Amino acid sequence: MLTTTISNKVLNIITAKAKEQTLTGSGLCYLALSTTTPNADGSNFTEPTASSYERIRLNDYEGMEYVDMWGSVSNGTVTNKLEITSRECTDEEGWGEATHFGIFNAKAPGSGTLLAFDLLTDPDGEPDENGIYPAKSLTVGYKHVAVFRVGTLQLQIK
């Protein structure tokens, strides 16, 4: 679900009421995990507090080539086109049980604007007739990483 903040920005751009070049400010976006269900206004997004947790950059320049983790938008939906892996959890208590992912415009947990969010999905489950995978929470324990397979992070305009 797009947050109301980003929905308003999209509408301002569409209606030519804003001169923003990008919706993220910096042009960069970061994947975050939430242990709570976020609200449409961007509140109630609770990231793990473990010291080894960090957001994952989803677009970048590698040398002179632009690398974007997202596929093409189709029918109001976009999914990750590359496998995405977090850093290793080095906290013995782990990162907790995440139920949602979010896209932020800043790298540091607790900073920036939540642009979009949705349920985490089961990469081993069977997608429905719309290609949507079933919801599944994610627990990252000590010495583990979070892996998001191609197509399992899905954002839709709802």
Kindly report, residue by residue over 81-137, the tens digit of the pLDDT.
888 999 999 999 999 999 999 988 899 999 998 988 989 987 677 878 877 778 889
pTM: 0.81
Query: What are the pLDDT digits (tens) for 50-76?
Result: 999 999 988 766 655 566 787 777 776
- pLDDT for 14 equals 46
Q: Greatest CA span in the chain, whole angstroms?
A: 50
pLDDT at 16: 47
